[in-house]
């Protein structure tokens, strides 16, 4: 099906607002195959993730990465649940590849969006959103008139398995940490603005 320029502009505008391929199809009645041809790179086919495919370490790693450098882009009115991990495009390529590997193993369909020195690893998954969100405590704050949910601590840390904890600390080190020489030895540093989170990690 051949689309007019006006139609292409409309469907791209809907996609950028977070509407899914199915929703755009219902609104415009344009076949999904035609939509996907024009919206490749904007709309991603959503796959149901199965976190049971991941080890405890890998699930903990995702949690650590999210606490360190992750955020949600949720638009419930459009049924869009995106989990975004923000990484350095130049210095963190091995981390990006490993994160992509874990997300794909869990059944996700992640993709990378690059902007200058920033690489965003993005996956659309309500299951992953609900899973990660169940571990985090937020505090609302305002910045420039905009309400922001700031991560301040994590839930039920004492009940996590040993493997999950190792994964969590590994993800946190890769996102917000540093391992290197210190004096005559090697130390691992984790940086956070949340005192409550620092206290939990220390314990």
pLDDT at residue 192 in the model: 67
- pTM check: above 0.75: no
Q: 8 versus 196: which is more confidently predicted?
A: 8
Report, as an integer, the average pLDDT of 25-48.
77
Which phi-psi region, left, alpha or beta, contains residue 145 (left: φ > 0; alpha: ψ -120 to 50)?
A: left
Q: How confident is the model at residue 12 (pLDDT cuts 50, 70, 90)?
A: confident
pLDDT in tens, 179-198: 767 677 777 777 766 667 76
Q: What angle do CA 99, 170, 183 make, to 5 degrees?
A: 130
Q: How confident is the model at residue 145 (pLDDT cuts 50, 70, 90)?
A: low
> Other C-beta atoms within 10 Å of 123: how many?
26
Q: How confident is the model at residue 46 (pLDDT cuts 50, 70, 90)?
A: low
Q: Residue 64 and residue 60: Cα distance in Å, rounded?
A: 6
Report, as an integer, the average pLDDT of 85-99.
93
Q: Residue 78 and residue 97: Cα distance in Å, rounded?
A: 29
Res 52 pLDDT > 90: yes
Res 87 pLDDT > 90: yes
């Amino acid at each position: 099906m051949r689309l007019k320029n006006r139609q292409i502009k409309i469907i791209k505008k809907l996609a950028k607002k977070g509407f899914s391929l199915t929703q755009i199809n219902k609104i415009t009645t344009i076949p999904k195959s035609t939509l996907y041809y024009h919206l490749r790179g904007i709309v991603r086919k959503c796959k149901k993730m199965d976190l049971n495919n991941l080890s405890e370490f890998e699930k903990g790693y995702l949690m650590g990465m999210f606490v360190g450098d992750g955020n949600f882009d949720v638009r419930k009115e459009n049924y869009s649940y995106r989990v975004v991990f923000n990484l350095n495009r130049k210095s963190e390529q091995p981390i990006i590849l490993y994160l992509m590997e874990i997300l794909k193993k869990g059944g996700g369909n992640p993709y990378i969006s690059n902007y200058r020195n920033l690489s965003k690893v993005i996956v659309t998954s309500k299951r992953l959103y609900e899973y990660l969100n169940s571990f985090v405590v937020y505090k609302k704050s305002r910045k420039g008139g905009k309400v922001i949910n700031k991560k301040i601590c994590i839930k039920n840390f004492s009940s996590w398995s040993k493997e999950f904890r190792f994964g969590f600390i590994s993800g946190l080190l890769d996102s917000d940490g540093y391992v290197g020489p210190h004096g005559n030895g090697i130390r691992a540093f984790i940086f956070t603005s949340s005192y409550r989170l620092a206290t939990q990690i220390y314990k």
